[in-house]
Structure 1
Amino acid sequence: MQDVQNRADGRGIDIQKVGIKEAHLPFLIKTREGGYQQVLARVRFTVSLPSEYKGTHMSRFLEILMPWSKKPLAEPEMEAMLGEALTKLEASSAEVELSFKYFVDKVAPVSGRTSVLDLDCSFRGHKDKDKPMEFQLGVEVPFTSLCPCSKEISAYGAHNQRSVARIQLRFKPGYDCIYIEDLAEMVEKQGSSPIYPLLKREDEKFVTEAAYENPKFVEDILRDTVLTLRGLEGLQWFSLECENYESIHNHSAYAQHEEELP
C-alpha cells in the first residue's frame, strides 16, 4: 500500500509540532512512597516534521503510548518515550504532555479523619535529538485565604475564600523533580489554611480559627510562595499564579510571577 505521508512536499515549510491531541488513556504515576497511582490522562503528543515530508504517521503515536501507559511513569520513562518517538517518527524533536487528576491523602487536623484531595496536575517533556529531556511539572494547589483588610476593619469576623496556586516547575539537568505530594504540602502552607475534603465539627472550628489568625492578601500568598520555591535545590525556572475566588465580589483577586533562577 502507498505511504502517502512519506510523499515529498514542495512548499518548504517545517512544522514545529504535529501529532495527536485530546487522547485519553490510563497511566500509572509514580508516588512519593515508591508505588504508583492510576490516573486518567489527557494526552498531547507531537513531533517536528521536516519541510520535505507531506505528513507524519499518526498511528505511531498511539503505538508508542500504549505500552508506556501500563508502566509506572516519572521522568526516566517520559524521556524513554520521547526517545522512541524521535526514532520511530524520524523527528528532530518530540514533546508529550499528560494532564490528569492526582489524589493526595489529607488528615483532618483534630479528628484525624482521612480523606483524599484531588489536584489538577501535568507532566510535560520536551526532547531534542541527542539532548537531555526538559521536564516540566504542573500542579494546582487549593487552600483557604482570609482577607487582612476585612479582619482589620470589622468588629467581628472577616471574609475568606477558596484560593488556588497554579505552579509550573522545571529543574536543572541532573536534579530530580519534586514529588507532587511534597509540592502540594509546601504550597498550601503559604495560604491562610489548608483545605480538607472531610472535616468534623471540631476540625471546622480549628481551620476557621487558624485562617482568622493567618490573614493574607493574594500578594502575600504569591510572595511567600516565591520565597519557598526559591529554596528548592536545583530549581531552574518556575511560573506561579495565585487566584482568590472572592466571596464578597463577583471577580477574583489575582497575582502572577515567573522567574529564571541562576
Structure 2
Amino acid sequence: MTQIDLSTREARWRHFGSVDPIKGTKPTEKENMPDLQSSKKDFLFEIEHVGIKNLIYPVRIDDFQTVGNFEFSTSLNQDEKGINMSRIIESVEKHYDNGVNLDFESLKALLNTLQSVMFQNTASVDVDAKWFFNRYSPITKQKAVGHADVRYILSVNNSKVTRKSLGIKVPVTTLCPCSKEISEYSAHNQRGIITVLIDLDTEITLPSDYKDIVLDGMEANASSMLYPILKRTDEKAVTERAYENPRFVEDLIRLVAADLVELDWIKGFEIECRNEESIHQHDAFARLKYNK
C-alpha cells in the first residue's frame, strides 16, 4: 500500500475527497450581485406575514435572563418579490442589551425598527419564553426560583398597535371534589395545567405588575399553587389547603375567568385547564373563550 502523508489537515481533507474551489464567473462583490428579493413587478398577491420562525435568542424578563423563541414577520406588497430576512436579525441586534427586554414597549420599539428597515407598513412578533420569579414557601418563607411559561404577541400597522396579547401557562394542584365527597378518607389529586391567552386593550395603560395579576388569578383559584421548596410545615399547609379547596377543571376555569373579567385592561381571553389525572389513563380538560 502506498504511504500517504496525512500529517496536515489539508492533506487529510484531500484524502477524504475535498477538492479545490472552481474558478467561478459570477460576481463576488455585493454591489455587483443581483438582488432577486428586491425585484419589482406584479406578483399577484399581497402577503400579510412573511418572516422567520424559531429564532432562539436571549431575553430578559424582570430580574432574570432567559431564552425566547421568536417569530417575526412583516407584510409584503404585491409588487415586491420578497423581504430581506437578514434585516430581521439586524433589527433584533439593535435592541439587544445582554438580552432582548421582553415587555410590550420594548417589542413595539423593535417592530418599529423592523418596519423601517423593511419599508413595510405592518410588523408582528410572537415570542414564548420561560418566566422566572422568586417564590416563597407558605409557612417557612423559604425563597427559591419559580417559573411559568409566558407568551407575548404584538402587531403594529404604521404607528398603531393592532394586536396586543399575553399568554401564561402554569402548573397547579387540583384535588377532586367527587373523590373527597365519596371517600371515607383522603381524595385523589393531580397536577393541573392552566393556560390563558389574553387580548389586551391597546388603548389602556397596563399596570406595572400585569403578569403577576394574571398569574395570581390562575394560581389562587386552584386547590393549591406549586412551590420550589417545601419544608414539613409548608407541606402540611399546602396539603390541607388543597383538601379545603377541591376543584374540578370546570370549577377552576370558571373561577379564573371570573377574576379576568373584572380587569378593565382585558378585552377577552381563552382559558384551558387540563388535569393530568392520577387515577385515569386520560387527562380531563375544560376550555372557555370570552369576549367583553
Pick aligned residue for 1:53 from 57, 71, 80: 80
User: Which amino acid counterpart does residue 177 of structure 2 have in structure 1?
Assistant: P
Identity %: 35
Pick aligned residue for 1:76 from 86, 105, 117: 105
Report the more deviating stretch, 192-201 or 126-135: 126-135
Report the more deviating stretch, 128-137 or 49-58: 128-137
Deviation at 1:42, TM superposition (A): 0.7
Distance across 2 between alignment mates of 1:14 and 1:248: 52
The number of residues matched between the two structures is 256
Deviations along 1:112-136, one digit per CA (max 9) or x if unpaired, are 1111112111111111124235221
- On the 8 A contact 1:79/1:133 being kept in 2, the answer is no
Secondary structure in structure 1 of the residue aligned to 2:179 = helix
- On the 8 A contact 2:137/2:229 being kept in 1, the answer is yes
User: Which amino acid counterpart does residue 223 of structure 1 have in structure 2?
Assistant: R
Unaligned runs of 5+ in 1: none
Aligned pairs for 1:149-188 within 5 A: 149-177=178-206, 179-188=210-219
Secondary structure in structure 1 of the residue aligned to 2:106 = helix
Secondary structure in structure 2 of the residue aligned to 1:23 = strand
Deviation at 1:188, TM superposition (A): 0.1
Distance across 2 between alignment mates of 1:210 and 1:28: 34
User: Which amino acid counterpart does residue 41 of structure 1 have in structure 2?
Assistant: G
Report the more deviating stretch, 68-77 or 209-218: 68-77
The Cα RMSD (Å) is 1.5
Matched, 1:193 2:224: yes
Pick aligned residue for 1:209 from 240, 244, 253: 240
Aligned to 2:40: 8
Deviation at 1:13, TM superposition (A): 2.0
Larger RCO, structure (CA 8 Å, separation 6 or more): 1
TM-score, normalisation: structure 2 = 0.83
Q: Any runs of at least 4 consecutive aligned residues in structure 1 with deviations exceeding 6 A, and if so which?
A: none
TM-score, normalisation: structure 1 = 0.92
User: Which amino acid counterpart does residue 67 of structure 2 have in structure 1?
Assistant: L
Distance across 1 between alignment mates of 2:36 and 2:58: 31
Pick aligned residue for 2:49 from 4, 10, 17: 17
Aligned to 1:245: 276
- On the 8 A contact 1:219/1:255 being kept in 2, the answer is yes
Aligned to 1:109: 138
- On the 8 A contact 2:164/2:202 being kept in 1, the answer is no
Deviations along 1:18-58, one digit per CA (max 9) or x if unpaired, are 111111111222x3xxxx43121111100111122111101
